[in-house]
Amino acid sequence: MFESLVDKFSGIFKKLRSKGKLSPQEVESILKELRMVLLESDVHYKVAKDLINRVKERAVGREVLESVTPGEMVIKILWDEIRKCLGGETQNLNISALPSFLLLVGLQGSGKTTTCAKLALRLKRQGHFPLLVSTDTRRPAAKEQLKTLAQNAQIDFFDEPDATSPLEVVKKARVFARQKSNDVVIVDTAGRLHVEEMLLAELRELVEQESFQETLLVLDATTGQEAVKVAKSFEEWVKPTGIILTKVDTDARGGAVLSIVSQTGWPVKLVGTGEKLEQIETFHPDRMASRILGLGDTLTLIEKIEKAIEKESEEKLVQKLKKEEITLNDFLDEIKRLRSVSSFEEIVGMLPGNLRSNLSMVDGEKNLKKVEAIICSMTPQERQNPSIINASRKKRIARGSGTSIQEVNKLLKQFEEFKKLWKQMHKGKFSPLRKRGIFGWKI
């Protein structure tokens, strides 16, 4: 995610952190680099210009020039301005009525139907009783797709084969939801291949005749500036209350997210981060700004880990960490648990840049098997106390696992990094992050 932006920002930040003081000329030079990075990453030129101007206004003032660590201060200012571009504050779904109706609209291929099912499953796990409804009366396959997804997730699905219009479907679904006590109704609409006036007029009739707590526009993040044009077209007809961004995990350039939010002014409520039904997250502007700048998203990582680890096993691990008794067996167990939540690539991507290289060996299925082979080639005493592993033991372990001594050394080093990471995570939820903001995090 945001691979291009992260790499380019990392290079600029390295220069910034190496300087004890910054002159106005140096700030100007850095801002020019930042502007080029934004433009190359598919950020709209107006958005890039406004963002850099706001950063410049703060960066050439006393706030930076008299700062003890001016490099870190410029990074903080940039993070703060990107966070504002992304909406500033987290916006939750409006689920106030009983039942609450959420209408999802968008172009065909944006992932709208799958997003309906993802959202329903998410709400179900939060204690709601969702109902999925398809108003696509033209394409039977679209309705069948949503019905299948609903069955897989064990979510109620409303089907009205005799309905002739989306408006009629929604009216009947409202009656059905009240009878069955569904508190949230998620309405899928017909996907458009492009912005068609006839179908948009059909949508406008629906939003004018029926009451919806949210009208959410589903946009594909990988379409870049085209997504902004689509958003503007829908604005004239249905006036969305928010956005759901899909395929954010494959948006390597990353600029589209900034452009979409800045130019529409609508809050992003949710983001799709993968193909699985569980892979949808609340959009947090501060966390997304951290990801874009390559500073990690440790809070989301903590949430993912907490979902994966059973309370009992977590408490045992915390006790071990307190006594510094974490072993290589625990290391292997935790890697497997993390991978059960999402891809290791996604998890590593949430870490600050200085940690990613440290955990590179356990990244990917092939490397994970290699790690498992090395650990399984150790004696119980060696797994319990890796400090006893000397040169002759490393040679034996490498031979038994089909690896090299260098790979055994690398694993032992990364095990030490892993222990430090987990100690920080269980010591007040990354207390350095809270005390020092998101910057300067060192393990």
Q: Buried (b) or exposed (e) across 227-254, using 16+ Cβ within 10 A?
A: bbebbebbeebbebbbbbbbbbbebebb
Contact assessment for residue 135 and residue 212, using Cβ atoms and an 8 Å cutoff: no
CB burial of residue 11 (10 Å; 0-12, 13-18, 19+): exposed
Q: Is 50 annotated as ligand-binding?
A: no
User: Do the annotations mark residue 156 as ligand-binding?
Assistant: no
Q: Is 249 annotated as a binding residue?
A: yes
Which pair of tokens denotes residue 266?
């609508």
Nearest to 28 by CA among 3, 64, 2: 64
Helix axes 311-322, 405-425, angle to 10 degrees: 100
Question: How far from each other are the two terminal CA atoms of the chain, in whole angstroms?
Answer: 24
Asked whether residue 109 is marked as a ligand-binding residue, the answer is yes
Does the annotation place 113 within a ligand binding site?
Answer: yes
DSSP summary character for residue 141? H
Whole-number Å distance between alpha carbons of 57 and 402: 58
Q: Cβ(146)–Cβ(159) under 8 Å?
A: no
Give 386-436 as a DSSP string: GGG--HHHHHHHHHHHT--HHHHHHHHHHHHHHHHHHHHHTTTTTHHHHHH
- Does 32 belong to an annotated binding site? no
Is residue 219 classed as helix, strand or coil in its secondary structure? Answer: strand
Query: What DSSP element (H or E) covers 204?
Result: helix 197-209
Strands across the sheet containing 130-134 = 156-158, 130-134, 184-188, 100-105, 214-220, 242-246, 268-272, 280-282
* Neighbour-count burial of 175, counting CB atoms closer than 10 A to its CB (0-12 exposed, 13-18 middle, 19+ buried): exposed
Cross-strand partners of 246: 220
Q: Check the annotation: does 107 bind a ligand.
A: yes
Question: Does the annotation place 111 within a ligand binding site?
Answer: yes
In SS3 terms, 60-91 reads as CCHHHHCCCCHHHHHHHHHHHHHHHHCCCCCC
227 annotated ligand-binding residue: no
- In terms of Cα–Cα distance, which of 185, 166, 165, 193 is closest to 108? 193
The CB density around residue 23, as the number of other CB atoms within 10 Å, is: 12
Known binder of ligand: residue 246?
Answer: yes
Q: Which amino acids are annotated as binding site, given as ranges?
A: 106-113, 188-192, 246-249
Q: Which amino acids are annotated as binding site for GTP, given as ranges?
A: 106-113, 188-192, 246-249
